[in-house]
Structure 1
């Protein structure tokens, strides 16, 4: 992510269980594997973050 958005971006991995994969930006959920029942496609997360 830092390669795409620069050194000022902070990325945090929060360990969990049950196969939940969610991505939030500024406290807002922008992708949820659980809600969509699928993994993101290549480049999808970066596109959502740029969005």
Structure 2
């Protein structure tokens, strides 16, 4: 997923933060774009790229 995001948005810095308990979140500028806990699934990279492209 990180590679796909970098191809589409090379200006974005990606940081991986190790966690426990199955937490997986995508956060941009302090705003949670995706939460595995909230959604109950992993995101498709295309939905994350779409959110980043729309400025959300």
TM-score of Structure 1 vs Structure 2, range by shorter chain = 0.7 to 0.9
Cα separation, 2, equivalents of 1:2 and 1:39: 19
RMSD: 1.2
- In the alignment of these two chains, the number of paired residues is 50
Which runs of structure 1 show a deviation greater than 6 angstroms over 4 or more consecutive aligned residues? Answer: none
Unaligned ranges ≥5, structure 2 = none
Aligned match for 1:48, one of 39, 48, 51:
51
Cα separation, 2, equivalents of 1:31 and 1:46: 11
Cα separation, 2, equivalents of 1:44 and 1:4: 12
Query: Hey, which of these two has a bigger chunk of helix by percent?
Result: 2
Instruction: With a CA cutoff of 8 Å and minimum separation of 6, indicate the structure with the bigger relative contact order.
Output: 2
Q: How high is the TM-score relative to the length of structure 1?
A: 0.82
Q: How high is the TM-score relative to the length of structure 2?
A: 0.76
Unaligned ranges ≥5, structure 1 = none
